[in-house]
Structure 1
Amino acid sequence: MPWSDHAIWWHVYPLGFLGAEPAALPPDSAPRHRLPVLADWLDHLVGLGCNGLALGPVFASETHGYDTVDHFRVDPRLGTEDDLVRLVEEARSRGVHVLLDGVFNHVGRSFAPFADVVRHGSASSYADWFVPEGDDFRTFEGHGHLVALDHASPAVVDHVTDVMDHWLARGVSGWRLDAAYAVPQAFWRTVSDRVRARHPEAWLCGEVIHGDYTSYVTEGGLDSVTQYELWKAIWSSLNDVNPHELAWSLTRHSALLDVFAPQTFVGNHDVTRIASRLREPRHLAHALTVLFTVGGVPSVYAGDERGRQGVKEERVGGDDAIRPAFPDSPSGLGPEGLDVQRLHQTLIGVRRRHPWLVRARPRPHTVDDTVLAYTLHDPDSGAAVAVALNYGGEAATATVPAAAWEPAAGDATPAAGDGSVSLPPYGWCVATAPTLPS
C-alpha cells in the first residue's frame, strides 16, 4: 500500500484556528510566529488516530488565504518559512504527514505578476499569465478580487510546478489543489507528471465539487478528489430519514473505488459543521460510522472531533463561524465534547485495525425506510466489517450475513445464528469477523 492509503487527515484552517488578523499585515511588519502553536496539537492529532495534518492556506495572501500574493512566502500573519519547515519536521518525527493547500486557479490582485501587468499592460513579461476580458481580466466565479490564471500559458505551468516542488523538497507530503474543477485537466496532467518525476510519492488531491470525479485521476493525473457527493448523501439521508439515498450514493462511491480512493469527509472549512447540519444529534454517530468504514481517505475537520457547532452563511464573513480561533493547546478545550472525541477514537481504531477498508466496497444487505446495513470484505485476508444503522426513533431490525461477528462499536451486535441485528431507536453497530462464509 502507498502511504496515502494509510492516511487519516486532521484538517486545520490555520488563519482562523490560530487567530490571525483578517487582512494582510502592513508592509515591513514583523512576522507573527503562530505556526509553532500547531506543534502542540500534534499529540492530539495522533491521539485521535490520525497521521496526517492537512493545512489550509499558509502562503502570503490579502485576506482569507485563497487570494494568494506569493506562493513562495509563508503569510507573515502565521510566521516564516522556518516556522513551517520546523512544523513539518516535528510532524514527521511523530509519523505525521503534512498536506498543503495550493491555490493555483486564481490569485489576489496584489500578486506581483498581476500587479506588473496592471502597470505595463501587454508590455509586461507576465502578460500571458492572465486572460483579458473587457476592461479587466478573467476572474474566479465572479469574485472580482480573485484573478484567474491562464492555464494555457507555459509560464503558469512552470510557476505552479516550481511552487509544488519547492515545498515538497522541504518535507511536505502532498497538495490539496483548490478549485481543481475550474482548471483544465490537461494542465493538471502536465504539472502532476512533472512533479512526480521529482517526488514520486507525493499525494495530489483535487477539490472537485461536481462532475466526473474519475476523469481528474485518469485524465488529470491526480491521486484523488474530494467526495462531495458522498458528503451530501450522508447528512441529507439522515436528515430526511431516507437510507435509500445513502445506499444509492454508496453504489456510485464503489464505482470510484475501482479507480482511486476518494478523499472523504463530513466536514471541512467550506461547509456547515456536521454537528450543526444534522437535525437529530444522535445521527452524528451514524455519519461518523459511514465516514470511517467506507472506502476512501478520510479527514476530520478540526473541532468536529469535539462536536463543535458552526453554520456557514452566504455573506461577507459568512465563513467565520466555521473557522474560529482555538486555544493554544488541547488542554484549553476543556471537557466539552469528550464523548464525541472518544467516538472518533473508537471508529478510527476500527479503521486502523482494518487498513484494507481504504478500498473496500460496501455491499448493502438491508435497505428500508429506516434501516441501512452493509458489509465490507477484504478478499485477501477474508476479514469483514458489518455496519447497521437505524435512522429512526423506533426499534428496528437489520440483517447481515451470518458470521462470527464480534462487537467493535455501537449498541448492538449481529446474532451469531442468522446475522440479524436488533437496533434500538437511533441505534447503530459496527462488528468485525475474521471471515465471511462463502
Structure 2
Amino acid sequence: MSAWYDNSVFYHMYPLGMTGAPKENHEAAPADRFRQLNAWIPHLTALGISAIYIGPLFESTRHGYDTRDFRLVDRRLGTNDDFRQFVKLCHEAGIHVVVDGVFNHTGREFFAFQDIKEHREASAFRDWYKGINFWQGSPLGDSFSYEAWQGHYELPALNLQNPAVRDYLLDVVSFWVKEFDIDGIRLDCANVLDFDFMKALRHHTEHLKTDFWLMGEVIHGDYSRWANPSMLHSVTNYELHKGLYSGHNDYNCFEIAHTIRRQSEANGGIYRNINLYTFVDNHDENRIMSKLNNKRHITTVYTMLFTLPGIPSVYYGSEWGIEGARTSTCDDMLRPAIAPEQFAKLHNDLTDHIGRLAKLHRQHPALCTGMYRELLLTNRQYAYARSLDEEHIITAVNIDENGAFLSFRLPMGGKEAVDLVSGEKIAIDNGCLNLALDGCESKILKIVG
C-alpha cells in the first residue's frame, strides 16, 4: 500500500511573500498573519489539494533562510500557537503539512554564531561551522573567517559532521513533530547537505511519526544519490520541470518524452522506483505563464504535470495563471502578496482545469503510482498510459495550435475509452484508439472492458 505522499497533490506556500510580510524582521512582537493563511485552506480544499509544503517558517532576519531561531515561527507571520492552529485546521481539512527544513546554514544572528563572535577560540561552538579560521577576517568585518553558502556570508555553513550540530538539528525536528504534528520536511539545499546527516535524519524521523516524508531540493545530478531507502523519499524533479516548459516552447514533445523514458520507463528508467516531486514553477523559478511563449500551452503543461509520473505540486497563485519573472537582483515578483479577498476575482478557466486534474489524480491510483508506457510520440503530439493493477489511464496531448488526429495501439486491450472529464465514450477499434484533438487540447481517458 502506498504512503499518503505518493497519492498527494501538493500546494507550495511561500508565507512571507503571500502575506506581504516586511522584508526585514524588526518586529518587537509577533504579527497576526496566520489569519490570512488560515483563509487559504477552504480554497485549497476546493482546488483538490491534499498536502502543502510551506516555508520558510523558522524565525529569520530577512528572506527566511537566514535562520536565527530554529524553534520559533517567524514573528512576521505569528506565534508558535498560531502555526499549531494552522496545522490543526489543515489536518481537519484532510491536508498534510510539510515544512521547510533549513539545515545547511544559519543566519549571523543565530546563537552559536554570535557566541563565536564574542568568545572566538574560547567559544564552545567554534566547531559548529565549516572552515572557521581565527587567523583572518571575513568580508563582513568579523575577526574570523568561515565557509558560507555559495559565498553569501550572511549564511554561514553549518558543520553537519559535528555530532553536537547533528544532535541539535535532530532535536529541532523532534520539536516540530511533537509541538506541531507536521507530516514531513522539505530539505533546503539538499544537494550540499552531508549524506550522513540525511541518513541520521531518515532513521530519526522513522521513529518519530509513521509515514513521515523527507523531500530534498536538488537541481542537478543523479537524483538517486539523495532519494533512496536510506536517505530521502523524494527530491525536486528539475529535469522534468525544464522539459515541460522548453518542450512546449520548442514544439518538441520528444524532449519531454525522453526525460520520462530516462527517468520512469518500466524497463530501464533510472528513477522508476522513486516518486519524484514535480512542479512547473516555484519560489525560485519564473512563473510558468511567464515562461511559455504560447500562453494556450498552459492547459497541456498542467495536464502533463498531473498525469506523468511524480507527485504534482502547484505554486501558490499559479492556479490563476499569474505571471512573474525574477531579475538579477530581485525575486520579489515571484513571491507576491495575495489577499484571500482576491480569490473570487482571480478564479478562471485554468483554476477549474487544475481543480479537475487534482481530483482525477486523487481518484485514480494509476495516476499516482502507476507504470508509465509511451503509446504515441511526434513533435507535437504525445500519448501515454499509466497502469496499476487493472486500471489503465490514457493521456493524449496535442501541443500544436491546429487540430490533430491521433491513432495508436493499446497494448492493454479494452473495449472502449471513457473521457474522464466529459464522460464521452470512444470505441476501441481492433486494439487501436482513434482520437481527434483540437489545438492545444488534451484528453484523459480510462480503458474499460
Following TM superposition, by how much is the alpha carbon of 1:415 offset from its aligned partner in structure 2, in angstroms? 5.3
**TM-score normalised over the length of structure 2:** 0.91
Following TM superposition, by how much is the alpha carbon of 1:36 offset from its aligned partner in structure 2, in angstroms? 2.6
2:163 matched residue in structure 1: 154
**CA distance in 2: counterparts of 1:125 and 1:182, whole angstroms:** 25
2:7 matched residue in structure 1: 6
Distance 1:140-1:414 versus aligned 2 partners, 3 A rule? farther
- Answer yes or no: is 1:61 the counterpart of 2:60: yes
Paired amino acid for 1:162: D
| Segments ≥4 residues shifted beyond 6 Å | 410-413
Give the aligned length.
427
Equivalent residues in 2 for 1:331-410, closer than 5 Å: 331-378=341-388, 380=389, 382-402=390-410, 403=414, 404-409=416-421
1:93 matched residue in structure 2: 92
Deviations 1:147-201 (A, max 9, x none): 1111111111112111111111121111000000011222200122122222232
Deviations 1:315-350 (A, max 9, x none): 1xx2111100111x2x42333342111001111121
Following TM superposition, by how much is the alpha carbon of 1:244 offset from its aligned partner in structure 2, in angstroms? 0.6
Equivalent residues in 2 for 1:7-46, closer than 5 Å: 7-26=8-27, 29-46=28-45
Following TM superposition, by how much is the alpha carbon of 1:257 offset from its aligned partner in structure 2, in angstroms? 4.7
**CA distance in 2: counterparts of 1:411 and 1:291, whole angstroms:** 22
**CA distance in 2: counterparts of 1:211 and 1:348, whole angstroms:** 29
**CA distance in 2: counterparts of 1:182 and 1:122, whole angstroms:** 27
- Answer yes or no: is 1:258 the counterpart of 2:279: no
Q: Is the 8 A contact 2:218 2:235 kept in 1?
A: yes
Q: Is the 8 A contact 2:224 2:271 kept in 1?
A: no
**CA distance in 1: counterparts of 2:11 and 2:345, whole angstroms:** 20
Q: Is the 8 A contact 1:107 1:148 kept in 2?
A: yes
1:304 matched residue in structure 2: 318
**CA distance in 2: counterparts of 1:200 and 1:153, whole angstroms:** 28
2:152 matched residue in structure 1: 143
- Answer yes or no: is 1:171 the counterpart of 2:184: no
Residue segments in structure 1 that go unaligned for 5+ positions in a row: none
**CA distance in 2: counterparts of 1:337 and 1:232, whole angstroms:** 27
Following TM superposition, by how much is the alpha carbon of 1:410 offset from its aligned partner in structure 2, in angstroms? 8.1
Following TM superposition, by how much is the alpha carbon of 1:212 offset from its aligned partner in structure 2, in angstroms? 1.3
1:326 matched residue in structure 2: 338
**CA distance in 2: counterparts of 1:268 and 1:44, whole angstroms:** 19
**CA distance in 1: counterparts of 2:294 and 2:335, whole angstroms:** 23
2:223 matched residue in structure 1: 213
**CA distance in 1: counterparts of 2:446 and 2:78, whole angstroms:** 46
Task: Kindly report the root-mean-square deviation, in angstroms, between the aligned alpha carbons of the 2 structures.
Answer: 1.8
**CA distance in 2: counterparts of 1:59 and 1:38, whole angstroms:** 16
State the percentage of identical aligned residues: 34
Paired amino acid for 1:148: A
Following TM superposition, by how much is the alpha carbon of 1:256 offset from its aligned partner in structure 2, in angstroms? 5.0
Distance 1:116-1:409 versus aligned 2 partners, 3 A rule? same
Distance 1:195-1:352 versus aligned 2 partners, 3 A rule? closer
